[in-house]
Structure 1
Amino acid sequence: MWAARGARRRAVHGRGRRRAPWVRSRRRSYTDAPMRRPHLIAIAGASGAGKTTLAHHLADALEVGPAAVIPMDAYYRDHPEYDLAKRAAANYDSPDSIDVTLLRRQLDLLRAGRPAERPVYDFRTHRRTEATISLRPLPFLLLEGLLVLHWPAIRGMADTRVYIEIDQATALARRIARDRRERGRDEASVHRQWRATVWPGYLRWIAPSARFAHMTVDGAAPLEACVAAAIDQVRASAPATSAARSRSKTRAN
């Protein structure tokens, strides 16, 4: 398991921390910076691999903060016509469970420099709430979720694509701890869902998407090493992204 949060922050933000080349010593608001298309980082992997943890610590290292993290889980389809028992029994590991049209539309808005209002999903009721969360076109955006490298249209938007590998035992232990802590689940129900949909879905849709990643990191490795490796990949992706923008501007002129 990755280290405690305080230690992680010291590892990322302590002396000698590694920054992306565009990050200056003085924090600037996104409104101060010249407008450019956000650099989209997609992070995929099995349930319990550490996608959310890596996304938030990478956002801290890039100095854009938690507002830059976009969870794929927020885009689960809403089924008010189903009762709670039917919603709880649904397959949430299938690509069909995600409103990918809405996700793509909101990513298009952000990449065009416009804000978007993402949904908020309640895992206890398996429903979208009436609330939304504002997304802004920050210099870096981090999309994290099981299937973000599965869909060609979504992974095609990502400037940096990261896949997290993890062994099944570690992933399951993390899933049990999270679902008991955050989603009101008991261990037996987590085991049933894991066997019925989670691991079969991983084998069918998620693991095959690893080949589309620019880099793979070990979800059991020290977090600071994963953050540093991801920043190196962002740095490597930046020249290609800038060149593509320049070519696009030249064609437009």
Structure 2
Amino acid sequence: MKPIVIGIAGGSASGKTSIAKKLKEHFSVTKHVVIIRMDDYYKDQSEMPMEERLEANYDHPFAFDMDLLISDVKKLKNGEAIDKPVYDFMNHTRSDYREHIECSDVIVLEGLMTLDNQELRNLLDIKVFVDAPADIRFIRRLVRDVNKRGRNLDHVIDQYMNTVRVMHEQFVEPSKRYADIIIPEGAHNTVAIDLLTTKISSIISASMV
């Protein structure tokens, strides 16, 4: 069976990771599922001073190592294993650790720009966009970045106003038009997730015939 690749895009803190986890929980009973976070493919910035790392625009497509991500997805689709980079959010650069990922039945790729790049889109069997109101996304991002990523309040607000909001409107929101499925309310939308899991199951069944 050829791996099924599901791309999940959406704004920062829209609920992409929660939906990816829901899919893994659902299919892990019968299939091997792996989640690939696009955030881990932020470019390495170890040679940059911390001051420059703090000022970098992490919400622009150029912030990601798209060539490596596309290469890794192609390898997984071809049944090959990869050694995936892991991003260090505390130090704003790629960590020295790499995660070994074996080929899986279902590959879930989630991240801001999952649907923005045409070459990457062409590798996806199902394209999903998670839609959430801007105020909800900002509150979730604020809580996450302060509690889990070592940010302070002023930095989160400044980053949101100067880059996150602008880049969302320029790159993330327009990519919604490429989605096969749009899920409002993220993981709380159980009807949409049920429809998505049913569609994935039908593709898996068809590929086994």
- Residues 11-36 of structure 1 show CA distances to partners (whole Å, capped at 9, x for unaligned) of xxxxxxxxxxxxxxxxxxxxxxxxx2
Secondary structure at the residue paired with 2:52? helix
Residue 100 of structure 2 is aligned to residue 150 of structure 1: no
Q: Partners in 2 of 1:214 and 1:92 — Cα distance?
A: 26
Residue 221 of structure 1, CA deviation: 6.5
| 2:127 partner letter | R
Q: Is the 8 A contact 2:19 2:187 kept in 1?
A: no
Secondary structure at the residue paired with 2:114? coil
**Pairing of 1:214-225 with structure 2 (within 5 A):** 214-219=180-185, 222-225=188-191
Contiguous gaps of at least 5 residues in structure 2: none
Partner of 1:55: 20
Q: Partners in 2 of 1:198 and 1:210 — Cα distance?
A: 17
Partner of 1:131: 97
2:127 to 128, 138, 161: 161
Q: Partners in 2 of 1:198 and 1:232 — Cα distance?
A: 33
| 1:213 partner letter | A
- Residues 144-172 of structure 1 show CA distances to partners (whole Å, capped at 9, x for unaligned) of 00000000011110101100111010000
Superposition RMSD on alpha carbons, in Å?
2.1
Is the deviation greater in 183-192 or in 230-239?
230-239
Q: Is the 8 A contact 1:54 1:223 kept in 2?
A: no
Q: Is the 8 A contact 1:215 1:233 kept in 2?
A: no
Residue 237 of structure 1, CA deviation: 4.9
Secondary structure at the residue paired with 1:142? strand
Secondary structure at the residue paired with 2:13? coil
Partner of 1:31: none
2:43 to 66, 74, 77: 77
Q: Is the 8 A contact 1:41 1:141 kept in 2?
A: yes
Matched-pair identity in %: 30
Q: Is the 8 A contact 2:183 2:189 kept in 1?
A: no
Residue 222 of structure 1, CA deviation: 2.0
Q: Partners in 2 of 1:67 and 1:198 — Cα distance?
A: 30
Partner of 2:9: 44
Q: Is the 8 A contact 1:54 1:226 kept in 2?
A: no
Kindly tell me the number of residue pairs found equivalent between the two proteins: 208
Structure number having the greater strand percentage: 2
Q: Is the 8 A contact 2:57 2:63 kept in 1?
A: yes
TM-score by length of 1: 0.77
Q: Is the 8 A contact 1:44 1:163 kept in 2?
A: yes
Structure with greater contact order relative to length (CA < 8 Å, sep ≥ 6): 2
Contiguous gaps of at least 5 residues in structure 1: 1-35, 247-253
Residue 186 of structure 1, CA deviation: 1.5
Secondary structure at the residue paired with 2:151? coil
State which structure, 1 or 2, has the greater radius of gyration over its C-alpha atoms: 1
| 1:93 partner letter | D
**Pairing of 1:1-253 with structure 2 (within 5 A):** 36-63=1-28, 68-219=34-185, 222-235=188-201, 237=203, 242=207
TM-score by length of 2: 0.93
- Residues 185-210 of structure 1 show CA distances to partners (whole Å, capped at 9, x for unaligned) of 12221111001110111000000100
